[in-house]
Amino acid sequence: MAVEASGEQTKMMLAQILKRLDDIAALSKQRYEEQAAFNAQVSQDLQACRKQIDLTQGDVDEVRQAASAARAAYRHHQLIRLKQILQNITGIE
Q: What is the pLDDT of residues 16-66, one digit of tens each?
A: 999 999 999 999 999 999 999 999 999 999 988 888 777 787 788 888 888
Dist. CA 35–CA 1, nearest whole Å: 51
Dist. CA 29–CA 21, nearest whole Å: 12
Question: What is the predicted pLDDT for the residue at 29?
Answer: 93
Q: Report residue 20 CA to chain centroid gap.
A: 40
Q: Is 10 exposed, middle or buried (0-12, 13-18, 19+ CB in 10 A)?
A: exposed
Is pLDDT at 80 greater than 80 in this prediction? yes
The mean of the pLDDT values for the chain is 87
Question: What is the predicted pLDDT for the residue at 1?
Answer: 63
Global pTM value: 0.49
Q: HEC string of 22-39?
A: HHHHHHHHHHHHHHHHHH
